[in-house]
Amino acid sequence: MNDTGNAATHEETILQVKDLVVKFSLRGQVLTAIRQASLDLYQGQTLAIVGESGSGKSVFTKAFIGMNDANGWVDSGSILFEGRDLARFKTEREWLTIRGKKIAMVFQDPMTALNPLRTVGMQIQEALTLHQGLKGEEARQRTVQILDEVGISDPEARYAQYPHEFSGGMRQRVVIAIAVACNPRILICDEPTTALDVTIQAQILELIRTLQRRLGLTLIYITHDLGVVANVADRVAVMYAGEIIEYGTSEEIFYDARHPYTWALLSSLPQLGLKGQPLYSIKGTPPNLFTEIKGDAFAPRNPRALKIDFVARPPFFQVTPTHYAKTWLLDPRAPRVDPPEAILAMRAKYAGVGVGR
Amino acid sequence: MLSYTLRRLRQSVVTVFIVLTLVFLLMRLLPVEGYFGDSYDKLTEEQRQAVLAKMGLLDPWYVQLEHFYGALLHGDLGVSVVYRPDVPVNQIIAMKIPYSLRFGLAAIALSLVLGLAMGVRQARDKGRFWDKTWTWYIVLTHAVPMAVYLLFIQLYMTKILHLPMLYDRTNPISWILPTLSMALGPIGGYALWMRRYMVDELNKDYIRLARAKGMSSTAIMVRHVARNAFVPMAQYLPTSVLLTISGSIYVESLYSIPGMGGLLIDAIQRQDNPLVQALVLIFSTLGIVGLFLGDVLMAVFDPRIKLSKQGGAR
């Protein structure tokens, strides 16, 4: 599966986001959480959205299923899916044609994601009844089958048990089972393994991958774990301060990153740290989203920032047909700026080695 | 479950015994003048002693206690000595309970239905019109002394709606206002708690998953939120249902309903020991049974609660 880059010709776009702006009203002030983010999602592929906390990863994807809080709204831009513009959806009725049915979501913390007072079976069955119209014994049998499919042993007995009788990893399997029972086209996984311990993480990732293959799912991973990204993603979108600043295939992002923020993010991988030196961390804090951001949002934290970065917002520059980055460094007039040492060292070390998949 | 019930039963018997003995002894500490009411001054010292002896009050306290429990074991609660001299107390109580029970249950049913509905509505419209309106209602019924608004209701509602002022056993129309009056406070109480627990539930993660599943907000309210929010309230339900038999002192006196309201206070003031003891026995037993049923109800609703093991999983 390392050939995604050259398979561009027969890739089919399933969801297309253009210049999406999402705002929230908080204590009388307006916060711009998503600032003109654009993204193409391809059928059957896995996209990872990375970025630090508060960069808007969750808000961005929640906008696809209308799950942002009531004080938030899509200000402009479009989300095209199956010929409809989800950005224009207003009523719950419209969203119910998408939510779960077409686009499902798995959340971070499986410990609290299930209703503690209803059996695991009933909670999966609810989705089956809702989206596949199954009822009674038929629904029960299908639920047991799904439990089995997500790797829960003794599914007949587990069907009638309550969430507190399941471990964290098992509960996440149930949450995934619920998402799968909806039979969606796109599955959004919002940090699905963050709350789990490492050995379980790998199992859950493997499970999601298996289900993706079997059901032809398109996946969106939201994560700040670059290890997970390297493991699962075909494409990576890097978010910063509410916009997607670099977008490309896994290889392109890991080995040919162009945006200074992506460099900084990769440099902070502990694996890239040089022996005897303190781990790299990005200085400063993300910009205040209540105020209008001028120029490149990352410029104030970027030691290599150009003058223009503080004045004008960079457009998307194309690096390859699959790789885009929003940085003035890609402008033909820009001076040559080399990535940090850690990035160069990594490139040298892994030259010619594909990203693990 | 059975061993749990038995253990609870054992504890309950001990508790009732302690409460009853304590009240029994406290009654014996009251000054003896209280037993005579207005006639105290008219009686000679010998006559007084004779009355006290007849009531068995001259025996040492442990002998009195022994007599009391001895009779109790045979199902004999004794006869009233002051309130209605020589009438068996269980007869007095049995006459009054049906009135209080009938009004109490009607009021509880009314307040549950209206209160829960109100609470659900408030939680759904949190911060908006209905929530604010009902919050006003709750604050009013809880902050203004009951005596004030119940009196107003009796005075004006009867006038405006041409309803009878006093309770009449044969006229169902006269039952409306007392029932309503008794329900007004609890409606607000149930609404308050239901709203609170529902808002709690609405903010939980599983609601987010239920939404992501594609359930409509109405379905989520009905199938997940309302049910879960009711569980913590279920615990107190049996106690409040059982204790309706103690009646409402104010409403019953307002509408002249011959119920239990105020009977215990009356009996204590007039030092009718057998009547006090019988009432304490009944109320404390019902209270304990109510708590037990509440725990059972909780365990029925919440699978995480197990009644079998000591301490249990909570």
Same domain, A223 and A271: no
Q: Does A101 touch chain B (CB under 8 A)?
A: yes
A2-11, A317-326, B150-159, range with greatest mean pLDDT: A317-326
A337-353 confidence digits (pLDDT tens): 888 888 888 787 776 55
A209-231 confidence digits (pLDDT tens): 999 999 999 999 998 888 889 88
Q: Does A133 touch chain B (CB under 8 A)?
A: no
Q: Does B223 touch chain A (CB under 8 A)?
A: yes
Q: Does B301 touch chain A (CB under 8 A)?
A: yes
Q: How far is B214 from chain A (nearest CA, A)?
A: 5
Q: Is residue A80 part of a domain?
A: yes
Q: Is residue A238 part of a domain?
A: no
* Complex ipTM tops 0.95: no
CA dist B230 and B12 (Å) reads: 26
Q: If you average pLDDT over residues B22-35, what whole number do you get?
A: 88
Question: What is the chain B residue with the closest CA to A183?
Answer: B213
A25-83 confidence digits (pLDDT tens): 999 999 999 999 999 999 999 999 999 888 999 999 999 999 998 899 999 999 999 99
Q: If you average pLDDT over residues B197-225, what whole number do you get?
A: 92
Residue A10 has a pLDDT of 59
Cβ pair B208:A104 closer than 8 A: no
Cβ pair A162:B208 closer than 8 A: no
Where residue A214 sits, what CATH number does that domain have? 3.40.50.300
Spatial neighbors of B231 by CB under 8 A, at least 6 apart, are A117, B298, B301, B302
Rounded to 5 degrees, φ, ψ at A222 are -105, 125
Return the closest-CA partner of residue B108 out of B203, B49, B38, B179. Answer: B179
Give residue A147's domain range.
12-233
Q: If you average pLDDT over residues B172-185, what whole number do you get?
A: 90
Set of chain A residues whose Cβ sits within 8 Å of the Cβ of B210: 115, 126
B240-282 confidence digits (pLDDT tens): 888 888 888 889 888 888 888 888 888 988 889 999 999 999 9
The answer on pLDDT for A267 being more than 90 is no
Return the closest-CA partner of residue B243 out of B225, B264, B228, B218. Answer: B264
Q: Does A84 touch chain B (CB under 8 A)?
A: no
Q: Which residues of A220-256 are buried (b: 16+ CB within 10 A; e: fewer)?
A: bbbbbebebbbbbbbbbbbbbbbbbbbbbbbbbbbbb
Same domain, A153 and A261: no
Partner-chain residue, chosen from A105, A117, A130, that has the shortest CB–CB distance to B301: A117
Average pLDDT of chain B, as a whole number: 88
Partner-chain residue, chosen from A109, A130, A164, that has the shortest CB–CB distance to B213: A130
CA dist A196 and A169 (Å) reads: 7
A127-153 confidence digits (pLDDT tens): 999 988 888 899 999 999 999 999 999
* Cβ atoms of residues B32 and B76 within 8 Å: no
- For residue A125, CA distances in Å to A110, A145, A280, B210 come to 18, 11, 47, 12
Return the closest-CA partner of residue B166 out of B178, B179, B156. Answer: B178
CA dist A261 and A286 (Å) reads: 11
Q: Band the pLDDT of A8: cuts 50, 70, 90.
A: very low
Same domain, A61 and A208: yes
Question: What is the chain A residue with the closest CA to B213?
Answer: A100
Set of chain B residues whose Cβ sits within 8 Å of the Cβ of A114: 206, 209
Q: Band the pLDDT of B309: cuts 50, 70, 90.
A: low
The answer on pLDDT for A280 being more than 90 is no
Best residue in A117, A143, A188 to probe B by mutation, most B CBs within 10 Å? A117
Partner-chain residue, chosen from A99, A117, A126, that has the shortest CB–CB distance to B303: A117
Partner-chain residue, chosen from B206, B214, B223, that has the shortest CB–CB distance to A113: B206
* Complete edge-to-edge strand list for the sheet that includes strand A243-249: A103-106, A186-190, A218-223, A46-50, A235-240, A243-249, A323-325, A317-320
Q: Is residue A229 part of a domain?
A: yes
Sign for the CA dihedral angle at B147, B152, B154, B155 comes to: positive
Longest C-alpha distance within chain B, in Å? 86
Same domain, A36 and A113: yes
Q: What percentage of chain A reaches a pLDDT higher than 70?
A: 94
Same domain, A294 and A179: no
Return the closest-CA partner of residue A327 out of A314, A318, A340. Answer: A314
Q: Which of A1-10, B83-92, B205-214 has the lowest mean pLDDT?
A: A1-10
The answer on pLDDT for B314 being more than 70 is no
Same domain, A104 and A175: yes
CA dist B307 and A184 (Å) reads: 41
Same domain, A219 and A257: no
Q: How far is B1 from chain A (nearest CA, A)?
A: 19
pTM: 0.81
The answer on pLDDT for B136 being more than 50 is yes
Same domain, A78 and A223: yes
Partner-chain residue, chosen from A92, A96, A175, that has the shortest CB–CB distance to B209: A175
Show the beta-strand stretches assigned E in A45-138.
46-50, 72-81, 84-85, 103-106
Q: If you average pLDDT over residues B155-160, what whole number do you get?
A: 88
Residue A357 has a pLDDT of 40
H/E stretch holding A258: none
Q: Which of B15-19, B28-32, B195-199 has the lowest mean pLDDT?
A: B28-32
Same domain, A57 and A167: yes
Q: How far is A243 from chain B (nearest CA, A)?
A: 24
Residue A352 has a pLDDT of 55
Q: If you average pLDDT over residues B105-127, what whole number do you get?
A: 92
The answer on pLDDT for A354 being more than 60 is no
The answer on pLDDT for A248 being more than 90 is yes
Q: Does A105 touch chain B (CB under 8 A)?
A: yes
Q: Band the pLDDT of A260: cuts 50, 70, 90.
A: very high
* Cβ atoms of residues A242 and A55 within 8 Å: yes
Token output for A131: 């989206």
Spatial neighbors of B190 by CB under 8 A, at least 6 apart, are B111, B112, B114, B115, B116, B118, B119, B233
Higher-pLDDT residue of A264 and B2 is A264
45-104 in chain B: CB under 8 A from chain A: none
Q: Is residue A241 part of a domain?
A: no
Residue B64 has a pLDDT of 92
Q: If you average pLDDT over residues A84-113, what whole number do you get?
A: 92
Partner-chain residue, chosen from B212, B227, B302, that has the shortest CB–CB distance to A105: B212
Cβ pair A107:B302 closer than 8 A: no
The answer on pLDDT for A277 being more than 60 is yes
Task: Please count the structural domains in chain A.
Answer: 2
| Domain residue spans of chain B | 93-301
The CATH number fitting domain B93-301, selected from 3.40.50.2000, 3.40.50.620, 1.10.40.30, 1.10.3720.10: 1.10.3720.10
* Complete edge-to-edge strand list for the sheet that includes strand A84-85: A29-42, A13-26, A72-81, A84-85
Set of chain B residues whose Cβ sits within 8 Å of the Cβ of A130: 213-215
Q: Band the pLDDT of B7: cuts 50, 70, 90.
A: confident
Same domain, A194 and A227: yes
CA dist A145 and A136 (Å) reads: 14
CA dist A1 and A13 (Å) reads: 18
B284-302 confidence digits (pLDDT tens): 999 999 999 998 888 888 8
Partner-chain residue, chosen from B206, B212, B301, that has the shortest CB–CB distance to A115: B206
CA A41 from centroid of its chain's CA atoms: 11
Cβ pair B231:A182 closer than 8 A: no
Set of chain A residues whose Cβ sits within 8 Å of the Cβ of B228: 115-117
Q: Does B236 touch chain A (CB under 8 A)?
A: no
Rounded to 10 deg, the angle between the B227-234 and B273-301 helix axes is: 150
Residue A351 has a pLDDT of 65
Same domain, A208 and A335: no
Same domain, A166 and A44: yes
Partner-chain residue, chosen from B214, B228, B231, that has the shortest CB–CB distance to A101: B214
